[in-house]
Structure formats: C-alpha cells, structure tokens
Amino acid sequence: MHFTSEQRFDDGVLEREFTLGEIPGILWTPASRPEPGAAPAPTPLILIGHPPLGLRRMYPRLAGRARYYAAEFGFAAATVELPGSGDRPRRPELEEARAELRRVLAAGEPVTGGIVDALILPLVEQAVPELRAALDALLALPGIDGPVGYEGGVISVGVRLALVEPRIRAAGLFAGSFVPAVMFEEARRVTVPLHVLLQWDDEGNDRQAALDLFDAFGSTEKTLHANMGGHTGVPAFELEPGARFFARHLR
C-alpha cells in the first residue's frame, strides 16, 4: 500500500489517497483524541462500497459519509475503486453487459436474469477478493484496529463479503441495484447485523425484489429504512442512524 497524497481537514480528519497494487483507494482516519490517563479506544474501520461509477465521480458522497464517521464517531473509513471503473482498465465483459442492459432498457424489453448475472456476478467475483486484500493492508496500519463494517452498494458485493469475510461484523447495505438470483441464496446464509436502506421510488430498482432480499437475510438483527425519492435521494438524516448502527456493533 502506497500513500500518494494526504490532506488534514479542520475537523482533524486525515484523508489519504493510496494505491494497493493497481487499485486506487482513499482512507480517512480520525484525529487521535486520547483521554488523559486512559488507553485510547480501538478504532473500528468502515469499508465504504459504491456503484461502479468511478471514485472521482463518487468522491463528494463518499467523503461526506467518511468524514462524518471519522469526525463524529472516531471510525476509520476507506473505499477502493471497483474492477473496471474509474481509472482502472475496462473489463470488456462488464462493458458488454452494461451495453446490453442499456439496449434492453431503451427498447422497453425485460431485464432478464441472464443480463443481471452478466452485469453483477463478474463484479462480485473480482471485487470481493480485492476488498479482502484491502482489509489485510488497512488493518495492518497503525491506528486502525477493527472490527470492520461494510456499507453501501453494490449490494451483491456486500452480501458476498458479509458471507465470506469474518472480519465484517455488521453491514449497512443499499438496496439499489439488480440482484442475481443466486445472491438470494447467499443472503439466507448471512448472519451479521444488517442495516438496509431502500429508496421507495428508485427508478432502476425493483422494490419488491429489494423487500424479498431483506426478508431472505438470515440475520436475526436486521433493520430496513425506507425513504421516499429516487436512487440518489437518501435523506441526510439517515447518516446518523447508520453511524449509530455501526457504533452498536463495532464497539
């Protein structure tokens, strides 16, 4: 892991861009605030996922959440670029799947399971091992202790990661993308506490499928927060309950 830039904000949060092999990422860490005479509290890590639109385009939303977590809750937060996104090399099979999705949406044709699988599964297969390698590197840094929470989309990435990575102790998922049928089976085996956000009027999202996925999760603690509005319209007031969810389970 190589740090390529850093800046410290007025709230004490340190933002550092890094590369891990060929994968760019960003890390936010809180100002250290040791109580006089007390041992410093462990610093959990929130791994922030995002749609495959490129880190630069997603930066304002990601940084807003990450800096809030660091400044208000003392969490570290990090995000990495998804395969085939941003400045990373294109992946022809993902490009083809997205072109096919655009074509059927434009033609008013149904989005078949085959299209959804081609769009999402290769992303899950490559992103999850990359995120686990990022966890290895991030948790080896001084001042980042874990445990780890995952939050954001792509929801199928979150499902797989929560299933296979024992360091993930809680997940805040965003029900806003196509979900391959196989992920419903994986969801039944997920047991970590979940906090799921659903935008009720999400244009590109099947609401019933999102409710069915929420129902499928095996976790005994799972909460759904549904709000009005489209995909990008999550209300600002959802930031705090999301952070409190992680505080309950990571501290």
106 vs 228 by CB, closer to its own copies: 228
Q: Does 38 bind its own copies (CB under 8 A)?
A: no
Backbone φ, ψ for residue 99 (5° rounding): -65, -40
Q: Does 237 bind its own copies (CB under 8 A)?
A: yes
Q: 14: buried, middle or exposed (CB in 10 Å: 19+, 13-18, 0-12)?
A: middle
Measured CA to CA, the distance from residue 47 to residue 139 in angstroms comes to: 11
Q: Does 239 bind its own copies (CB under 8 A)?
A: no
103 vs 248 by CB, closer to its own copies: 248
Q: Does 125 bind its own copies (CB under 8 A)?
A: no
C-alpha pair distances (Å), 100 with each of 19, 53, 119, 202 = 32, 17, 9, 21
- Tell me which stretch binds its own copies (CB under 8 A): 9-17, 78-86, 146-154, 215-223: 215-223
- The distance of closest approach from Cβ of residue 131 to its own copies in the complex, given in angstroms and rounded to an integer, is 27
Residue 164, token pair as written in the block = 């296979």
Q: C-alpha angle 69/44/166, rounded to 5°?
A: 125
Closest CA to 77 of 85, 87, 69: 69
Q: What is the largest CA-CA distance in the chain?
A: 66
Q: Does 233 bind its own copies (CB under 8 A)?
A: no
Binding its own copies by CB under 8 A: which of 100, 227, 231, 239? 227
How big is the site for its own copies, counted in residues (CB under 8 A)? 20
Q: Does 241 bind its own copies (CB under 8 A)?
A: yes
DSSP 30: P
Closest CA to 78 of 120, 140, 159, 156: 140
Residues β-bridged to residue 222: 194
132 vs 222 by CB, closer to its own copies: 222
- Tell me which stretch binds its own copies (CB under 8 A): 35-43, 93-101, 153-161, 207-215: 207-215
Q: Does 231 bind its own copies (CB under 8 A)?
A: no
Contacts 24+ apart (CB under 8 A), 87-90: 87/24, 87/54, 88/22, 88/23, 88/24
26 vs 197 by CB, closer to its own copies: 197
Backbone φ, ψ for residue 224 (5° rounding): -110, 125
Site string for its own copies, 166-205 (x = CB under 8 A): ----------------------------------x-----
- The distance of closest approach from Cβ of residue 201 to its own copies in the complex, given in angstroms and rounded to an integer, is 10
Beta pairing, strands 194-199 & 148-152: unpaired
126 vs 219 by CB, closer to its own copies: 219
Q: Does 235 bind its own copies (CB under 8 A)?
A: yes
Kindly list the residues in this chain that would bind its own copies in the complex (CB under 8 A).
200, 211, 214-215, 219-228, 235, 237, 240-241, 244, 248
